[in-house]
Amino acid sequence: MGYAHPVPDRVPAETAPVSGTGRRATERHCHTGVVQRSAVRPSPVFLGLLLLTVGGGFLATVEGDTARQAGVFVLVAAGWVVSLCLHEFGHAIVAYRGGDREVLFKGYLTLDPRRYTDPVLSLVLPLLFLAIGGLPLPGGAVWINRHALRSRAVCSSMSLAGPIANLVVAFLLAVGMGILTPDGSLARGAAVLDHPVLAGLSFLATLQLAAFLINILPIPGLDGWGALEPYLSYEARKFGAKAQMWAPFILFAVLIAVPPVNEGLWYAVSSIYDAFGGNLSLASYGQDLFFFWRSF
């Protein structure tokens, strides 16, 4: 899920797998805490996702319900994949600064979604869960060599960096919506219908908040557990290693099947988004446009 997986404890740091490198390359860059400019270079795939997101926004401005709905769907779906990349990049950049130089050679700093585990976990499942249940399933995790990290605090920071990336995106989108609608006029009447792009971005912001709240839960397989794991006993960590593959799916089943739990999540999302200055009416309209098939 969104959990930045450690290399298992039984694997010594010096024998932890390194993609496309040898030990000498890893040791040469170790523990400087400095991010080389050439290390962070957005891939063409990530830039293409950004262009696709922008393209969805342009399509949403075209006359007609079909174009508007299709545009918002593309805007939100592509924007969500972009945020998945930023989430995993957050894990990777903190790990890189904290001592794990292997993330550089694995391509985690390129923001290329193909580098993050596999296409099914990273892209297909999150988009499927989003389309079916409106829930932001975390994408496939990056693999971090925790033996290379300097301290338990760095390990915890690395785990929290992904959800914080979602929170930052949500905050920036909410602030942007507040700037573009300063008088609150879009909260009334049919005015929201004239702003499908703002509606789509507002809905995307609420998805970021939901992803943040879900990911910080201390459940095996999620980043909240990863933040606590360095301070847990061996038995607890062993349990987490076994449970991390199925525990998040049980959580999502509960969120989908138990209305009070689902409502509690979205109440928290709405409260935070409103506190950030976001426009809930726009977010609601964006949700309706994204799930256009529900109106049939």
Pick 125 or 235 by higher pLDDT: 235
Over 60: is that where the pLDDT of 79 sits? Answer: yes
pTM for the full predicted model:
0.84
Over 70: is that where the pLDDT of 20 sits? Answer: no
pLDDT of residue 139: 66
The structure tokens listed for 138 are 């975390």
Over 70: is that where the pLDDT of 54 sits? Answer: yes
pLDDT of residue 126: 77
pLDDT digits (tens, 9 = 90+) for 167-185: 999 999 999 887 877 655 5
Q: How confident is the model at residue 281 (pLDDT cuts 50, 70, 90)?
A: confident
Residue type, 167: L
pLDDT of residue 180: 79
Over 70: is that where the pLDDT of 80 sits? Answer: yes
Span of 15-19, 73-77, 90-94, 212-216 with lowest mean pLDDT: 15-19
DSSP structure string for the chain: ----EEPPTTS-GGGS--TT--HHHHHHTTT-----GGG----HHHHHHHHHHHHHHHHHTSSSHHHHHHHHHHHHHHHHHHHHHHHHHHHHHHHHHHT-THHHHTTGGGT-GGGSS-HIIIIIHHHHHHHHH------PPPEE-GGGSS-HHHHHHHHHHHHHHHHHHHHHHHHHHHHHSTT-GGGSGGGGGG-HHHHHHHHHHHHHHHHHHHHTS--TTSHHHHHHGGGS-HHHHHHHHHHTTTHHHHHHHHHHH-HHHHHHHHHHHHHHHHHTT--HHHHHHHHHHHTGGGG-
- What value does the mean pLDDT of the chain take? 83
Closest alpha carbon to 74 in 55, 88, 92: 55
Q: How confident is the model at residue 285 (pLDDT cuts 50, 70, 90)?
A: very high
pLDDT digits (tens, 9 = 90+) for 183-210: 555 554 455 667 899 999 999 999 999 9
The catalytic residues are 88
pLDDT of residue 290: 94
Domain of residue 73 covers: 5-295
Pick 105 or 2 by higher pLDDT: 105
Instruction: State the average pLDDT over residues 101-110.
Output: 92
Instruction: State the average pLDDT over residues 156-166.
Output: 96
pLDDT digits (tens, 9 = 90+) for 248-279: 889 988 998 999 999 999 999 999 999 998 88
Residue type, 38: S
- Provide the terminal-to-terminal Cα distance of the chain, rounded to the nearest Å: 32
Q: Which residues contact 207 (CB under 8 A, 6 or more apart)?
A: 76, 80, 83, 130, 136
Please give the tally of structural domains in the chain: 1
Q: How confident is the model at residue 22 (pLDDT cuts 50, 70, 90)?
A: very low
pLDDT of residue 129: 78
pLDDT of residue 183: 58
